[in-house]
Amino acid sequence: MGRLSDFSLDDSSPATSPHADDAEGTQETSDREAAKEEAARTNTETAKAPAARLGTGLPDPETEPSEQLVLCERAIHDAKVKWRNAADKAMAAFLEEAGPYFVWVHENKLYKHLKGNNGKPYRSFNRYCQEQHGISRSSGYRITRIIPLLNILARADHPVSDLSSRQTQVLHPVRRQHGEDSVLKVWETAWSTKKGAVPSPDELNRAVSLCGLVVRAEDDEDEKLALTQGKANPGAEVEKAVKILVPDTVRLAVREDPEKVLLLARTLNAALEEAGITIG
């Protein structure tokens, strides 16, 4: 849709100018014909002018402010609903087209071959998503988890339109640790005893046990953070850690379990390097 500034009315044209010379009959006819031809030529463009958006439905300024507000709020709400519906459709189309490529980049760790804003190669998929494509970590991982699962189910004639976060949390590690056949086995086991339209997360968990599968917690730090995102405030958690990790506490921890302290130090150092911060 064009902007309002893209549309203008040329008041000097013979068809619209108040200064047209009525005495020149032949010239006037010629000018009018020229104006018609010009109008026909630009008909498509002028048809696109957002006449309905020029405020023709604005409130009557003579009515009560409360009535004006109700009308405005209703119009804003209706526009918001339309925008959200359009945005949802656009996002669905984007994911359908781009999703498989995100999966490929993630599973083959291709993001590590691209440099981030700090000039260093990406070390995490979530940072690649955020900097290169403006996609949040949780959304990026949801894409890379759900699409492979939906494809597995579709190929086995068990198509579903979507999976919830909890369903995905059950099936994703099954795929990663036991493969596609195990995902199908779990799904079909849960399907045979389901109570709803599709297996619930609890039914999938029971199916994992019935199939004799042992599924360990995800060992990828980025993915752990993605799973817990929204359940904890990272800034608040770091603030708690700062209060706890006073020098005396750290010295005691080093004596009792130096390996864990070393792991913590490496994790902090890696995060700082990723952010382009060096310890002086």
pLDDT digits (tens, 9 = 90+) for 26-84: 444 555 555 556 555 545 444 444 444 555 689 999 999 999 999 999 999 999 999 99
Report the range out of 51-55, 198-202, 249-253, 261-265 with the highest average pLDDT: 198-202
pLDDT in tens, 101-125: 999 999 899 999 999 999 999 998 8
Is residue 58 domain-resident? no
Residue 167 one-letter amino acid? Q
Does residue 22 sit within a domain? Answer: yes
Q: Residue 242 falls within a domain, yes or no? A: yes
The region of weakest confidence among 63-67, 164-168, 234-238 is: 234-238
Q: For residue 66, which amino acid is it?
A: S
What is the per-residue pLDDT for 11?
36
- Rounded to 5, what percent of the chain is helix, strand, coil? 65, 0, 30
User: What's the confidence (pLDDT) of residue 277?
Assistant: 77
Provide the pLDDT confidence category of residue 226 given band limits of 50, 70 and 90: very low
| CA–CA dist 153, 96 (Å, integer) | 16
pLDDT at 20 exceeding the cut of 70: no
Establish if 263 belongs to a structural domain: yes
Q: Which domain does 246 fall in, by range?
A: 232-274
Q: Which residue has 């086991």 as its token pair?
A: 189
In a domain, 34, yes or no: yes
Q: Indicate the pTM of the whole model.
A: 0.50
d(CA 85, CA 200): 27
35 closest CA partner among 12, 7, 57? 12
In the Cβ-directed half-sphere of 209, how many Cα atoms lie within 13 Å? 5
pLDDT value of position 275: 72
Mean pLDDT of the chain: 76
Q: Is 207 exposed, middle or buried (0-12, 13-18, 19+ CB in 10 A)?
A: buried
Residue 4 carries which DSSP code? G
What is the model's pLDDT at position 23? 40
Task: For residue range 185-194, list pLDDT tens digits in order.
Answer: 999 999 988 8
Residue 155 maps to a domain: no
Q: Is residue 24 part of a domain?
A: yes
The total number of structural domains that make up the chain: 2
Residues 6+ apart with CB under 8 A from 225: 126, 137
- Alpha carbons 173 and 61: distance in angstroms, whole number: 61
Q: Is the pLDDT of residue 219 over 60?
A: no
